[in-house]
Amino acid sequence: MPDHDSTALLSRQTKRRRVDIGVKRTEGLSPNHLKKAKLMFFYTRYPSSNMLKTYFSDVKFNRCITSQLIKWFSNFREFYYIQMEKYARQAINDGVTSTEELSITRDCELYRALNMHYNKANDFEVPERFLEVAQITLREFFNAIIAGKDVDPSWKKAIYKVICKLDSEVPEIFKSPNCLQELLHE
DNA sequence: TGCTCCCCTG
DNA sequence: CAGGGGAGCA
């Protein structure tokens, strides 16, 4: 390819790049997007694909990207529910007989496991509402197991149905592509 | 049919 | 976390 042609091509690409700076949509999902998604999990366990699109405006969506994001939250939930069940069974083994004895504080083992998973750097203040939802989830598992419902292969479905209604509004700041810097800097 | 959830793997 | 498969829903 003659030099003047490649020069012209570069010129066009440069122009396009300048134009794109305004939106600057990334090709795929970055580690920062993953980190952001994990923080969003503190507010929403079951985000709709539509919601995700509005909160990840710097991402160029397509089928794969959308399903990947959806998949992330699915994986988040798996870890979440596994921890809940494990902790609930542990409590039962430890002799706990009432849900009143079950509470989630910021220094309990379960909280630390969750925080380590979704907020490893521990540079984000986990919202109080998440602790409430987590506690409800834990008690939900506890009661189900105590009642022997876990003999039913699909016993967790009922719990999922309860938890999916407890999503909170995700703060507006999460809609900003630079929300991580804004969130973790103060 | 396409999307989403969940389960199970690796 | 990603892949793959089965189930449910529109």
Distance A97 CA to C10 C1' (A): 43
Model pTM score: 0.87
- Tell me the per-residue pLDDT of A11-27, one tens digit each, with 9 for 90 and over: 333 333 223 333 467 78
What residue spans define the domains of chain A? 4-184
Q: What is the mean pLDDT of chain A?
A: 88
- Tell me the per-residue pLDDT of A54-112, one tens digit each, with 9 for 90 and over: 999 999 999 999 999 999 999 999 999 999 999 999 999 999 999 999 999 999 999 99
CATH number for the domain whose boundaries are A4-184: 1.10.10.500
- Tell me the per-residue pLDDT of A133-150, one tens digit each, with 9 for 90 and over: 999 999 999 999 999 999
Cβ-contact A81, A156 below 8 angstroms:
yes
| Residue A62 contacts strand B, CB under 7 A | no
Closest CA to A77 of A31, A118, A116, A110: A118
Residues with CB under 7 A from strand C: A 29, 34, 38, 68, 71-72, 75-76
In Å, how far from its chain's centre is CA A20?
A: 29
Cβ-contact A108, A91 below 8 angstroms:
no
